[in-house]
Amino acid sequence: MRQVRRGPAASPGQAGYGGAPQYAGGVPQQPSYVDGGYAEPPGGYDSGYNTGQVYGSPGGRGPGGPGDGMYEPRPAPNWRRRIKVTTITLVTLLVVTSVATYFWADSKLNRDVDLSKVIDRPEAGEGTNYLIVGSDSRAGMSAEEKKKLHTGSAEGKRTDSMMILHTGGGAPTLVSLPRDSNVTIPSYKGSDSGKLYQGTGRQTKLNAAYAEDGPELLVRTVEANTGLHIDHYVEIGFGGFANIVDAVGGVEMDIPQDIKDTKSGADFKKGKQTLNGEQALAFVRTRYALAGSDLDRTKNQQKFLSALANQVATPSTVLNPFKLYPTMGAGLDSLVVDKDMGLFDLADMFWAMKGVSGGEGKSMNMPIAGNAGNGNLQWDTAKVKTLVNELKNDDKVTVSSK
Q: Which residues have a Cβ under 8 Å from the Cβ of 396 and sit 6 or more positions away?
A: 170, 171, 390
Q: What is the pLDDT of residues 197-210, one digit of tens each?
A: 999 999 999 999 99
Lowest mean pLDDT among 50-64, 225-239, 326-340: 50-64
- What is the pLDDT confidence band of residue 213, given thresholds at 50, 70 and 90? very high
CA 72 – CA 57 distance, rounded (Å)? 15
Which residues share a beta bridge with 37? 34
Q: What is the pLDDT of residues 258-300, one digit of tens each?
A: 999 888 888 999 999 999 988 988 888 888 888 777 788 888 8
Contact by Cβ (8 Å): 188, 217: yes
In degrees rounded to 5, what are phi and psi of residue 232? Answer: -140, 150
Using alpha carbons, select from 135, 166, 186, 182 the residue that is nearest to residue 230.
Answer: 166
Which residues share a beta bridge with 337? 111, 234
For every residue of 57-96, DSSP letters joined together read BGGG--TTGGG-GGGPPPPPP-HHHHHHHHHHHHHHHHHH
Q: What is the pLDDT of residues 47-62, one digit of tens each?
A: 554 554 444 445 444 5
CA 124 – CA 143 distance, rounded (Å)? 43
Q: Count the neighbouring beta carbons within 10 Å of the beta carbon of residue 148.
A: 15
Using alpha carbons, select from 251, 254, 239 the residue that is nearest to residue 276.
Answer: 251
CA 89 – CA 95 distance, rounded (Å)? 10
Report the interhelical angle of 294-312 vs 343-357 (nearest 10°).
110
At residue 365, the 3 state secondary structure works out as strand
Q: Is the overall model pTM greater than 0.75, yes or no?
A: no
Max intra-chain CA distance, the chain? 147
